[in-house]
Amino acid sequence: MRNPHAGIPFGTSTAEIAEALQDVSIPTLMLSLVHITKNPELIRGALKPAGLFLNEVQGYMSEEDKAEVRSLALDIIADYRDAGCPETEPVSDALLHEMMNWLVCEEVPDEYVPMLREEMGLEGKDARSVETKTSRAAKADFPVLVIGCGESGLLAGIRLKEAGIPFTIIEKNAGVGGTWWENSYPGARVDVGNHFYCYSFEPSDQWTEYFAQQPELQAYFESVMKKYDVDPHIRFETEVLAARWDEAENHWRVDVKTKDGTTETLSARAVISAVGQLNRPFIPDFPGAESFTGPSFHSARWDHDVDISDKRVAMIGAGASGFQIAPTIAPNVEHLDVFQRTAQWMFPNPNYHEKVGSGVQWALRHLPFYGRWYRFLILWPGCDKGLEAARVDPNYPDQQRAFSEMNEFTRQMFTDWITSQIPDDSDLLAKVIPDYPATAKRTLQDNGAWLNALSRDNVELIRTAIDHIETDAVVTVDGTRHLADVIVYATGFHATKMLSPMEIIGRDGVDLRAMWGERPAAYLGITVPNFPNFFCMYGPGTNLAHGGSLIFHSECQMRYIAQCLEFLITEDHATMEPRQDLYDDWHERSQREIKMLGWSQPTVKHSFYKNADGEIHIVSPWRLVDYWGWTKEIAISDFIVE
């Protein structure tokens, strides 16, 4: 990483700087000024943000205060430019903490500061990369196989390369990006702000939108892959079918199938599964679906050869993907029927479709630490606060409506957001207010596009269940035939069938998926007894429903895995696997914890988090700060080592 304290000289004119400052987050700018001037008094006066809310990046400052900061900043930045952008000095721990508190208008607890400092990378070093002490020869004897090349698998490749451990990544698709390779449907975009949803050590200042769309996300992962020269290690269009532990040789034997259908068996001392939780499309079994004569496809397999303009489109399912598709295609199709089982709660986010202005991009590139503080600003409101808010108060009277007083407050806020957009007498109103507590399923980001789309004359929201499909129509249980030229299945993924359809066989022939059934578990979401040298990224119990970014989780997991590999190689051990008692205890505690959270409640009938028995095993019930702490350093005593 470049020394972030060393400025890169720029020649932007004072008038252009003034123009740029119109765009920027003023509280974030203030902290950059503290770095430039080394003067903390700047944030000890009357000019300060007034409050914090997710995606509210101006801290509710008044226009007058913002203007005053801009004028102050202009002189400071012009001087900084004229001095050739001299190196800034690292701030003390105490000042760093003060700056954090100031930006988010509350006391950031001490326990978070080291995690946040690391995430922000203020020292300019990649603190999650693992230093290796082992000789090249020892490493050469320890090939690692990574399954999948989404953000997790790519990160694994970057870390293994840094460590000098030989590795191969097997990826079934023709390119990198996983989720962001496959989900090319119209409107696909991230719903965690991109200045946080990117690797901590590779913070792009290029994003053109705050919540980037799929092509830009895929291009980001592609550029990172090239920058770190991981591509020569990837075998694209090759799928892992099975992995078997060879007890005699202490190797994994991994069966792969290449594009031309040939199979081969690869050997590795360790396997990292990075196959994601949302990678295998799920389409419900609707009677007659095969008789439909028009094109039909899953949202993650969007058929770009099908011209949907001026067609009647039936979109079945309106969860996270459908919610993005409908507003994007509605203006182009003749008619759109949206079949939705349950209404979704939406989080009001006016920035959701906003472009990153040129002023912000200039600040990200030129103002010391602007981008790092901006990352912190969008990270913090979603950092563990959602978990507290998800906690169920069993004594709260109407659990169908809300599971706690705080949850009732959220319900009101979300309901106000819906009712502010549609008239009281609209038929739509009854269909779009969910009948389960707010945040109890994945909450979607919304800037008004969803209800705007549903209010169009050419769009109908259908909440009646589907009975069957005919050659030219979707037929609901009330007998209505909804004519369709094209069917889009926005019906989600086999989320609870972890690692499916691979066959993973560990010691004594134990079949991982059979052992798990619909109750997958891994110690810290990473390792499983009887599966030596087998590591999961985005494994069981690591999906994030309460906030944060999965890239943060992946970085925690890969640091932990890299330490395991380093331990095995340095100490010349053949295998490691977690102790059964710790694994059982982890699963038991995780289950106990998750049952006390909103997502588990019986009031939520359908949710992709839940298995067939209504239990949740794929989502993390833990605070980010705890997970970060638990995965920061491996405890050898947690493992059985041979």
List residues near ligand FAD by CB under 6 A.
147-153, 170-173, 178-179, 181, 183, 190-192, 197, 239-240, 274-276, 278-279, 320-321, 502, 537-538, 549-550
Q: Which of 181, 95, 75, 99 is nearest to 380 (CA)?
A: 99
What 8-state DSSP symbol labels residue 293?
-
Minimum Å gap between C-beta 269 and ligand FAD is: 19
Q: What b-and-e string marks burial along 252-280, b requiring 16 or more CB atoms within 10 Å of the CB?
A: bebbbbeeeeeeeebebbbbbbbbbbbbe
Beta strands in 226-385 (DSSP E): 234-235, 238-246, 251-258, 263-268, 270-273, 296-298, 312-316, 335-339, 346-348
Q: Which two tokens stand for residue 384?
A: 């563990």
Q: What is the Cα–Cα distance from 512 to 504, expressed in whole angstroms?
A: 5
CB-wise, 132 or 491, nearer to ligand FAD?
491
| Least distance from ligand FAD to the Cβ atom of residue 299, Å | 7
Reported as half-sphere exposure (CB side, CA atoms, 13 A), residue 545 has a value of: 29
CB of 256 to ligand FAD, least distance (A): 7
Question: Closest separation between CB of residue 280 and ligand FAD, Å?
Answer: 8
- The one-letter code for the residue type at 192 is V
Name which of 407 and 542 has its Cβ closer to ligand FAD.
542
> Which residue number, 4 or 143, has a Cβ lying nearer to ligand FAD?
143
Q: Specify the residue, 278 or 383, whose C-beta has the smaller distance to ligand FAD.
A: 278
Under 8 Å between Cβ of 382 and 548: yes
What is the nearest approach in angstroms of ligand FAD to the Cβ of residue 57? 18
For residue 423, cis peptide bond before it (omega within 30 degrees of 0): no
Task: Please enumerate in sequence order all residues whose Cβ is within 8 A of that of 642, keeping only pairs 6 or more positions apart, or say none.
Answer: 250, 532, 573, 574, 575, 576
Select 236 or 396, whichever has its Cβ closest to ligand FAD.
236
Consecutive H or E run containing 473: strand 473-476
Q: Which two tokens stand for residue 508?
A: 């004594």
Rounded-to-integer distance, Cα 188 and Cα 210, Å? 13
Q: Which is nearer to ligand FAD, 147 or 564 (CB)?
A: 147
Q: Give the nearer residue to ligand FAD in terms of CB position, either 198 or 330.
A: 198
Q: Toward ligand FAD, which CB reaches closer, 196 or 286? A: 196
| Burial class (CB within 10 angstroms; exposed 0-12, middle 13-18, buried 19+) of 109 | exposed
Kindly state the smallest distance separating residue 62's Cβ from ligand FAD, in Å: 32
Smallest distance, Å, CB 213 to ligand FAD? Answer: 11
**b (16+ CB within 10 A) / e for 378-417:** bbbebbbebbebbbbeeebeebeebbbebbbebbeebeeb
Nearest-approach distance from CB 164 to ligand FAD, in angstroms = 23
User: How far apart are the C-alpha atoms of 533 and 252, rounded to whole Å?
Assistant: 9
- Which CB atom, from 47 or from 217, has the smaller least distance to ligand FAD? 217
Least distance (Å) between residue 188 CB and ligand FAD: 6
Q: What is the 3 state secondary structure string of 314-352?
A: EEECCCHHHHHHHHHHCCCCCEEEEECCCCCCEEECCCC
Report, in Å, the least distance between residue 348 CB and ligand FAD: 17
Between residues 299 and 601, which has the closer beta carbon with respect to ligand FAD? 299
